[in-house]
Amino acid sequence: MSVAPGQGPVGLGSFAGRLERLVHARQSSLVLGLDPDPDRLWTGARDAGRGVAPGPRSPAASAALAVAAHCRAVIAAAGAACVAVKPQLACFERLGAPGWEALEATCDAARGAGLLVLADGKRGDVPVTAAAYAQALVGSVPTPYGPVAGLGADAFTANPLLGRDALEPLVRAAREAGAGVFILVRSSNPGAGELQDRPLASGGTLAEALARVVADLGGTPESPSGLGAVGAVVGATAPAQLARLRALMPHSVLLLPGIGAQGGRIEDLAVAWSRGPASALVSASRSIAGAAPEPGGSEADAARRAAEELRAAAWSLAGRGAGGDKIAAQ
């Protein structure tokens, strides 16, 4: 079931404000990535797809039931250590209409656990299509039969390579909904440097040029520590670039994927929190959901332990961020 835009689990208001309150309440800057593979689900979740149905069930419907059960179980195990979930939309959309239902069920479970929802689809297209993407993620669609609510995400990721005019409808819709948008600046995949680190004739790299666009679109800060609705995706696998990108985007929340399975290390990311504990979010998926159980332990126990270890490691850096004590006292 979708929710009204901007109605996050900790109340109305700006995304940056909601995030800041939740980060301090949970002493966490950790985001739980959810990239469910129907072939690699937790044992109990696989059984959910084989349950008795009143009639014939398609493979897509069975897989979607199992995916939803898996995501609910991972949230139940690891969610207390996190401030948000980041469902990878492609992992749900590949199952067709039942997959979108599984996504909505996953978002409902996250909200029930008091978590923000960061929809990870890296949407980007010409302005008219970008506006449609925004309606699907944080808005609603007017129709002759009444409005159709979108996913109601607290934030989403966006691809900037079509230019500023294609980003503006996404940013505008996010602000109207009290949501956030994370624009891709420097990704965590091994081939990212081929284009994103390429020098430009005007000076700097493509990633730095994208960072300037993010800062320009950010507008007026919306939280007590000066954070805004327009954040950036900056891979944890390129820590040498982090100080420069943070300097270019002083008011942006940085979403840092690539910890664990992709080789990124939390201890290399301290500069990301220079604006305070909510100014950066560490995202982890496989290193939590795929954590190896101890002998006699369960998948849920392993995920819970892995999430808490990551939360503590990130907070040891984030909790010392500039302005953290001031915000915590409010």
Averaged over successive runs of 10 residues, the pLDDT of the chain (330 residues) comes to 40 86 96 96 87 73 96 98 98 98 98 98 96 97 96 98 96 96 96 93 95 93 90 94 96 92 87 95 95 93 97 89 39
Q: Which of 205, 229, 204 is nearest to 215 (CA)?
A: 229
Q: How far apart are the C-alpha atoms of 234 and 245, rounded to whole Å?
A: 8
CB within 8 Å of 272: residues ≥ 6 apart: 234, 242, 246, 254, 256, 279, 280
Provide the pLDDT for residue 221: 86
3-state secondary structure of 61: helix
HSE toward the beta carbon, residue 252, CA cutoff 13 A? 28
Beta strands in 38-167 (DSSP E): 84-87, 116-123, 140-141, 148-149, 155-158
Q: At what angle do helices 59-78 and 299-318 cross, to 10 degrees?
A: 50
Q: Domain 15-328: which topology?
A: TIM Barrel (3.20.20)
pLDDT for res 191:
93
Read off the tokens for 173. Answer: 């819709």
* Cα 158 from Cα 296, distance rounded (Å): 42
pLDDT at 63: 95
122 is catalytic: yes
Structure tokens at 166: 């294609």
Residue 6 region by backbone torsions, left for phi larger than 0, else alpha for psi between -120 and 50, else beta: left
Q: pTM for the full model? A: 0.91
Among residues 18, 122, 123, 251, which one is catalytic?
122
